[in-house]
Amino acid sequence: MPTAFFAGRFDPVTNGHVDIARRAADLFERLVIGVEQSGNRAAGGPTTLFSTEERVDFFRRAITDLENVTVLPYSGLTVDFAREQGATVLIRSMRGNTDFDYEFDMALMNRKMAPEIESVYLISRLEYLYISGTRIREVASLGYDVSDLVPAHVARALKAKFGQA
């Protein structure tokens, strides 16, 4: 069975991310979760609410029961890191048709750069369709309780980050 690679910013990790990881772990012998390193603001890269180390820790703590999963930080091209990990499959998730155009373009570019790596899409479960890291950060910053949308340790970290603990 091939190794799969699931990459993202995971800022923060959500219940939707965890669900995709669990489902992918059931499908593949080995799953590597790659947490994109925090961007460099001076270089114009995206910044994150939580550090790379925090986001790696959040995901690790959410899936401690999955023995065939490794969570690692990475930078650079996703396909390059996937190759380094021995992955032949990229796991991507799709919440709905709004994700399709972006994901389709990404799959084509990834295929151009790494034709030996196949993109496999897992459709989000209905209860997670509206969840995104951006929405979680936004509503948590305004005091909304997101404890049913993210793992408990992430909800606590969000409250602390926004001075609501």
Tens digit of pLDDT for each residue in 102-138?
Answer: 889 999 999 999 999 999 999 999 999 999 999 999 9
- Domain-embedded: residue 115: yes
- Domain-embedded: residue 146: no
Domain range enclosing 40: 3-130
C-alpha 127/C-alpha 45 separation (Å) is 31
- Domain-embedded: residue 9: yes
- Does 43 have pLDDT greater than 60? no
C-alpha 71/C-alpha 24 separation (Å) is 13
**Stretch 39-48: mean pLDDT, rounded?**
62
**Stretch 34-59: mean pLDDT, rounded?**
82
Q: How confident is the model at residue 45 (pLDDT cuts 50, 70, 90)?
A: low
Complete edge-to-edge strand list for the sheet that includes strand 87-94: 69-74, 30-36, 3-8, 87-94, 118-123
Q: How many domains does the chain have?
A: 1
